[in-house]
Structure formats: C-alpha cells, structure tokens
Amino acid sequence: MSENFMKNKILVTGGAGYIGSHTCIALHEAGYDIVVYDNLSNSSREAINRVSTLIGETIEFVEGDIRDNELLREVFALHEFFGVIHFAGLKAVGESVVKPLLYYNNNVSGTITLLEVMSEYNVKNLVFSSSATVYGDPDTLPIEESSKRSCANPYGQSKLAVEYILEDLAVSDDSWNLISLRYFNPVGAHASGQIGEDPNDIPNNLMPYVSQVAIGKLEKLSIFGNDYSTIDGTGVRDFIHVTDLAQGHVAALDYLEQQTSSEIYSNTASPIGFLPINLGTGKGTSVLELISTFSDVSGQAIPYQFASRRAGDIASCYASSEKAKNLLGWQAELSIADMCKDTWHWQSMNPNGYTMS
C-alpha cells in the first residue's frame, strides 16, 4: 500500500467479535478505513481496545444493535460507506434450538433492517458472514458452492434465510453486490496473543474446549463419536485459521472494489449480484488429529474420553476452495499446527479471555 493511499470506508457490523476483531486488523493493514458497529451482546469493549492498540489507532466504534433502524440511519448519514461487512449475529447452534425467535429476530430481522438502511443510503456492497452449516450433511466432498443447501437447526436456517433474501434482492435490483462468505471451522487467534476467541460459557466448539482443557479450566474433553466412517472414527472438519479468514474478507472487498469500478461496470450489467464463496482450506482434519497436534505444540496433555455422537453432527465436512482462489486470488496459508499454536498462545496469555482477573 502506498503511504497516502486510503481505500474506501467500510462499516463492520459485529466487528468486536471473534472473527470481526481479526478482520478489523486485516482491513486496517490493507488500507481500509473502518467503523465498527456492535451491540456487545457477545463481545467486549476490551477487544476493541486491544485492536486499537495493535493497529496503533483508535478504532471508530458505535455501540448499537443492527435492529435499531434509527441509530443505523444516523451512522449511515454521518459516513460515506463503500460497503458493509456484516458479521453481527448470534451463532450458538444449541441455543438457537431453545430460542429460535431470538435467532430469527437477531439474524434475519436484523439483516433486513441493515439492508433497508443500506438501500436508503444507496450503499449496495455487502460481504455477509454465512456458514458451511448451510450445506447440512453434504452428498459429496469437497463441498462446492453449487452443492444443495439444507440445514436442520434455527441458527443454520437463519443463515440460509439471509442467503435467500440476498439472492432475491440481487434479482430485484442489479445494483446490489452481495458476497456470501461461507466459513468452514474458524479457529486460532492473532499471532500477538492479544485477541482471540472468548466464549462466555463452557465452549460448544472443539478448539476452545481443547484449549480450556489444556490450561486446566476444564477437566477433560468428550469426543462426540468414534464410530464415523472417517480416518479414525472421529468427525472430520475443515479448520481454518482466523487470520486467513480475515484475509479472505480483504480479498472479497478488493474484488468488490475492482468489479464495481467504472471500467468494469460499463461492460457488465450486474457485475456480482449474489455470489456465494467458501472460505476453507480444502483439507479435512479429524478431532483426534487436532488434539494430537494441539498437545504437541502446547506440550500439554489433553485428557479425553469417547462419548456418544452429538445430535445434528455430521461425519465429514470440508470445502472446495477453488472458487475463492480463482475469483478472489485468496487461499488459506496457515497449518493446523499454526492454528493450535496461536490458540494456545492466546489462551495461555489470557486464561480468562478478555476478563482481567
């Protein structure tokens, strides 16, 4: 980046969260000017403070809810945004089964409110946080973007519903440019050890659970199923380093900028429309393989026991990452060992996450 060059201004909803905070750093490093909008329902101001320290600049932060039409309008009136990266959402699959209305309200109604305000202010470029969960139990592997979509829990359904809304929007008006990034299993933390994933409660996801066992906060891991038809009977997932994922967002925005530049616009009516793209490494790793690598890089034993399969889990899930490579020029760089090492660095420097005690 040349010194005086500043790229467009981006609204980052949910930018105080796990993936959002890492992406803020990547966006800043790439020269984007950002405003973070987050209601802190699953994150803390400390994450924003730490991102500010890491980038050497105070992040512009608005504490607000995406369902708050008035506040969003104030923010859009104040800034000239090129586009929005929309991370804000609730993400706990189990909780979504118990509180479906909360999930549909937050994730679907919230997104509709955001899109309405974007439309009003003629900001038509969006990068949406979708999930591999929209593929449900895939028929074939690796999973391509054209694979069938179906999912059985309210969280996944809320992501799918937003994708359908975005598709309809793109059909209705070709000035919208809507990229839906389908993340596989984001793990890891910033190399500084200053920011990372900070679950509120006992973690649901594998990597934070493993790292809390390693630090001694949890006694032992239960491995949900060792009778899948996989390499060792345990579930296989496409774990992706959050830093790689953050770079994927920069690549998506760069692509949006390029495609909507006047020269290209003049040649095509609808440069992007609705564009789903997988963000994964393309490689599957089993639960046992991940535990073994974590144990090696941390030097900690990870006690575990086998338990029955978790309801709703599938045997294997990994991405075809060809589309991201071909269209965005992006591919994941970091290994499973890097993911474990950086998770461990964050966990051991911050045994209580962002809570300082």
Task: Give the residue from 344, 92, 47 showing the smallest Cα distance to 212.
Answer: 344
Hey, which residues between 8 and 47 contact ligand NAD (CB under 6 A)? 13-14, 16-20, 38-43
Amino acid occupying residue 72: L
Nearer to ligand NAD, 206 or 300 (CB): 206
Q: Is the separation of the CB atoms in 134 and 91 below 8 Å? A: no
Pairing mode of beta strands 285-286, 33-38: unpaired
223 binds ligand WQD (CB under 6 A): yes
Please, how many CA atoms are within 13 Å of residue 329, restricted to the half-sphere of its CB? 7
105 binds ligand NAD (CB under 6 A): no
Number of H helices, E strands in the chain: 13, 14
Q: Which stretch binds ligand WQD (CB under 6 A): 2-10, 217-225, 255-263, 341-349?
A: 217-225
248 binds ligand NAD (CB under 6 A): no
Rounded-to-integer distance, Cα 43 and Cα 71, Å: 19
91 binds ligand NAD (CB under 6 A): yes
Nearer to ligand WQD, 86 or 91 (CB): 91
C-alpha dist (Å) from residue 19 to 46, 183, 282, 347: 15, 10, 19, 16
Least distance between ligand WQD and beta carbon 204 (Å): 6
Could you say which of 155, 183, 228, 318 is catalytic? 155
| Residue 222 binds which entry of ligand NAD, ligand WQD, none, CB below 5-8 Å type-dependent | ligand WQD
226 binds ligand WQD (CB under 6 A): no
Q: Is the separation of the CB atoms in 74 and 54 below 8 Å? A: no
73 binds ligand WQD (CB under 6 A): no
Q: Is the separation of the CB atoms in 37 and 64 below 8 Å? A: yes
154 binds ligand NAD (CB under 6 A): no
Task: Give the residue from 1, 59, 2 showing the smallest Cα distance to 25.
Answer: 59
Out of 93, 246, 275, 336, point to the residue binding ligand WQD (CB under 6 A): 93
Phi, psi values for residue 149, rounded to 5°: -110, 135
Out of 150, 222, 258, 261, point to the residue binding ligand WQD (CB under 6 A): 222
Interacting residues toward ligand WQD by CB under 6 A: 91, 93, 131, 133, 185, 204-206, 209, 221-224, 235, 237, 287, 310, 313
List active site positions: 155
